[in-house]
């Protein structure tokens, strides 16, 4: 107890804290000898004083070691993963994991649920009938060894200290503390036993980070602490100020992911992001020597059906239908009320408010306002058009999939309010979804 009080005092006063002190503190969190009040005091001290990179690394490793750390001896390829800071219509993980597995990597992806206006990978996958996202670590590892990829939720014995710290942060206005964000993200990812990690840091009006400088600061912190903690890590800043896919909503995104993998329909911005992240992981894992060769390899695996085969095998081995890629729409739930949202005017769509679209999906029942809320996997938005398109009054902006007529009408209003119009035609210029790349090895420690 006295050691914990001294740790809080030193953090509050901006004094240096060593790894032994932080390890003892996290052990106390795990065995319940540290109280919620003490966790709250520490979190608030970090909020005001921050932490050095060595301190963040020590906290991260202690949180990682508060539970089981997966071990992968005997594999013939690297163990790699990615983490996204959250977006709207972002099903990258569903495609990226199988793609990297088809190119020789092993991807033990431990994912989360929707947060705020952004969607969650687990919520998407659970729209597939029978798909299991909760399982014992031994079974999880067995699936990764067999298939090259599996996607599950955090288990009770992986980074348990993080769950308790986060619960306290959530009710003490310290969730947004950068050092605690970094340690929370990395403790769970490092518990996977990774050789390499890529961070997909979103920015724009549909992301938690609105501008490049804010996103870059988080990306650099994540890279510094990961490298300090012994895991090679790069980051990619990707644009979430316009759609990267044509859908937003759980089952709708899964159906689009199946189309993407089968080559039936690929949104160019989604393809650009997936290939970029896959290339980063292939280089970090030592499967390719440079990003150019790695991009080519990823593109070939995507186009020849190898990634689709891995995805279908993963779905089947986690309890879903064995023919899912070809028959996705026959297996997924369908909303009873569907229809278009028309433009209602002659103008050019200049910009989407992506956060507003995410909130529209939540209002339809496709996300949570509270942790205990149940999700309707069938609802959402489909056929989202990209900015720069000239529209007539009857042109569809998207199609709403709703559980009721009232919910449909409300979503129509929300979608229309999410549009910024231009009366003049805009130039048809293609902009990259990749805003910047950060090589972890080049980020200097602070």
Residues 224 and 281 in one domain: yes
In degrees, rounded to 5, the angle at the alpha carbon of residue 292 between the alpha carbons of residues 308 and 445 is 105
Residues 260 and 195 in one domain: yes
Instruction: Give catalytic status of residue 169 as yes or no.
Output: yes
Residue 114 pLDDT > 60: yes
Q: What is the DSSP letter of 425?
A: P
* pLDDT (mean) for 48-57: 94
Q: 446 falls in which pLDDT band (50, 70, 90)?
A: low
165 lies in a domain? no
Q: 431 falls in which pLDDT band (50, 70, 90)?
A: confident
Mean model confidence pLDDT for the chain: 93
Residues 24 and 117 in one domain: no
Residues 299 and 354 in one domain: no
Residue 46 pLDDT > 60: yes
Residues 225 and 289 in one domain: yes
Q: How far apart are CA 6 and CA 10, in angstroms?
A: 6
pLDDT computed for residue 112 by the predictor:
79
Residues 281 and 314 in one domain: yes
Q: 443 falls in which pLDDT band (50, 70, 90)?
A: confident
Q: 441 falls in which pLDDT band (50, 70, 90)?
A: confident
% the chain with pLDDT above 70:
96
Q: How many CA atoms lie within 13 A of 243 on its CB side?
A: 28
Residue 429 pLDDT > 70: no
346-398 pLDDT, tens per residue?
Answer: 999 999 999 999 999 999 999 876 666 789 999 999 999 999 989 999 999 99
Residues 372 and 270 in one domain: no
**Lowest mean pLDDT: which of 96-100, 109-113, 333-337, 388-392?**
109-113
Pairing of strands 390-391, 347-352: antiparallel
Q: What is the CATH number of the domain that holds 415?
A: 3.90.1170.30
Q: 442 falls in which pLDDT band (50, 70, 90)?
A: confident
57 lies in a domain? no
Catalytic residue among 189, 216, 269, 331: 189
Residues 214/205, Cβ–Cβ less than 8 Å: no
Q: Which domain holds residue 374?
A: 333-422
Residue 117 pLDDT > 90: no
Instruction: Give catalytic status of residue 121 as yes or no.
Output: yes
Catalytic residue among 64, 117, 188, 224: 188
Catalytic residue among 4, 30, 60, 83: 83
395 lies in a domain? yes
Catalytic residue among 4, 30, 64, 81: 81
Measured torsion, CA atoms of residues 155, 159, 161, 165, in degrees rounded to the nearest 10: -90
Measured torsion, CA atoms of residues 421, 387, 362, 204, in degrees rounded to the nearest 10: -100
Residue 399 pLDDT > 70: yes
314 lies in a domain? yes
**Lowest mean pLDDT: which of 68-72, 172-176, 324-328?**
172-176
Instruction: Give catalytic status of residue 124 as yes or no.
Output: no
Catalytic residue among 57, 60, 121, 174: 121
Instruction: Give catalytic status of residue 73 as yes or no.
Output: no
Q: What is the CATH number of the domain that holds 257?
A: 3.40.1030.10
Residues 293 and 222 in one domain: yes
Report the DSSP beta bridge partners of residue 119.
none
Q: How far apart are CA 292 and CA 288, in angstroms?
A: 9
269-291 pLDDT, tens per residue?
Answer: 999 999 999 999 999 999 999 99
pLDDT computed for residue 295 by the predictor:
98
pLDDT computed for residue 370 by the predictor:
67
Residues 298 and 269 in one domain: yes
Catalytic residue among 184, 229, 238, 295: 184
58 lies in a domain? no
172 lies in a domain? no
Q: Is 246 left (phi over 0), alpha (psi -120 to 50) or beta?
A: alpha
Catalytic residue among 84, 102, 111, 147: 84
Q: How far apart are CA 298 and CA 303, in angstroms?
A: 9
66 lies in a domain? no
Instruction: Give catalytic status of residue 81 as yes or no.
Output: yes
Question: Reduced to 3 states, what is the DSSP secondary structure of residue 286?
Answer: coil
Residues 307 and 351 in one domain: no
Q: How many CA atoms lie within 13 A of 177 on its CB side?
A: 25
Catalytic residue among 64, 117, 164, 169: 169
Catalytic residue among 60, 66, 82, 331: 82
DSSP structure string for 341-370: EE--SSEEEEEE-HHHHHHHHIIIIIS-SS
Residue 118 pLDDT > 80: no
* pLDDT (mean) for 424-442: 83
Residue 1 pLDDT > 60: no
158-193 pLDDT, tens per residue?
Answer: 899 998 998 899 889 888 888 998 999 999 999 999
Residues 289/121, Cβ–Cβ less than 8 Å: no
Q: How far apart are CA 254 and CA 327, in angstroms?
A: 12
Q: What is the CATH number of the domain that holds 27?
A: 1.20.970.10
Residues 282 and 392 in one domain: no
Number of domains composing the chain: 3
In degrees, rounded to 5, the angle at the alpha carbon of residue 395 between the alpha carbons of residues 394 and 398 is 120
189-234 pLDDT, tens per residue?
Answer: 999 999 999 999 999 988 877 788 989 999 999 999 999 999 999 9
181 lies in a domain? no
Instruction: Give catalytic status of residue 82 as yes or no.
Output: yes
Residues 302 and 210 in one domain: yes
2-16 pLDDT, tens per residue?
Answer: 689 999 999 999 999
Q: How far apart are CA 313 and CA 322, in angstroms?
A: 7
Instruction: Give catalytic status of residue 184 as yes or no.
Output: yes
pLDDT computed for residue 424 by the predictor:
80
């Amino acid at each position: 107890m006295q050691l914990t009080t001294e740790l809080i005092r030193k953090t509050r006063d901006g004094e240096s804290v060593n790894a032994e002190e932080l390890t003892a503190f996290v052990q106390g969190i795990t065995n319940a000898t540290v109280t919620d009040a003490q966790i709250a005091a520490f979190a608030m001290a970090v909020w005001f004083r921050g932490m050095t990179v060595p301190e963040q690394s020590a906290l991260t490793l202690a949180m990682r070691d508060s539970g089981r750390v997966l071990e992968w001896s005997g594999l013939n390829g690297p163990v790699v993963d990615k983490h996204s800071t959250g977006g709207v219509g972002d099903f990258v993980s569903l495609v990226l994991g199988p793609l990297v597995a088809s190119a020789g990597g092993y991807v033990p992806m431990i994912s989360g649920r929707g947060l705020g206006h952004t969607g969650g990978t687990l919520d998407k996958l659970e729209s597939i009938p029978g798909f299991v996202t909760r399982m014992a670590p031994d079974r999880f590892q067995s699936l990764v060894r067999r298939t090259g990829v599996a996607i599950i939720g955090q288990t009770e014995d992986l980074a348990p200290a993080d769950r308790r710290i986060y619960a306290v942060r959530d009710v003490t206005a310290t969730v947004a503390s950068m050092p605690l964000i970094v340690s929370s993200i990395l403790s769970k990812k490092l518990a996977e036993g990774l050789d390499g990690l890529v961070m997909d840091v979103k920015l724009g009006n549909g992301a938690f980070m609105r501008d490049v400088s804010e996103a870059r600061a988080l990306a650099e912190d994540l890279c510094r602490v990961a490298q300090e903690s012994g895991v090679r890590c790069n980051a990619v800043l990707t644009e979430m100020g316009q759609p990267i896919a044509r859908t937003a909503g759980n089952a709708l995104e899964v159906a689009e992911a199946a189309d993407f993998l089968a080559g039936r329909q690929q949104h160019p911005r989604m393809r650009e992001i997936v290939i970029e992240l896959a290339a980063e992981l292939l280089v970090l894992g030592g499967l390719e020597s440079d990003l150019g060769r790695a991009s080519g390899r990823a593109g070939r695996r995507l186009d020849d059906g190898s990634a689709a085969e891995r995805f279908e095998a993963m779905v089947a081995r986690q309890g879903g239908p064995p023919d899912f890629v070809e028959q996705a729409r026959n297996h997924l739930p369908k909303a009873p009320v569907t229809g278009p949202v028309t433009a209602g005017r002659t103008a050019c769509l200049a910009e989407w408010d992506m956060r507003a679209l995410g909130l529209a999906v939540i209002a339809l029942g496709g996300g949570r306002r509270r942790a205990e809320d149940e999700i309707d996997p069938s609802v959402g938005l489909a056929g989202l058009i990209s900015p720069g398109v000239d529209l007539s009054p009857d042109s569809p902006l998207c199609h709403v999939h709703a559980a009721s007529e009232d919910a449909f009408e409300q979503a129509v209003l929300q979608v229309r309010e999410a549009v910024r119009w231009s009366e003049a035609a805009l130039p048809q210029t293609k902009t990259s979804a990749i805003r910047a790349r950060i090589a972890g090895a080049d980020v200097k420690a602070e």
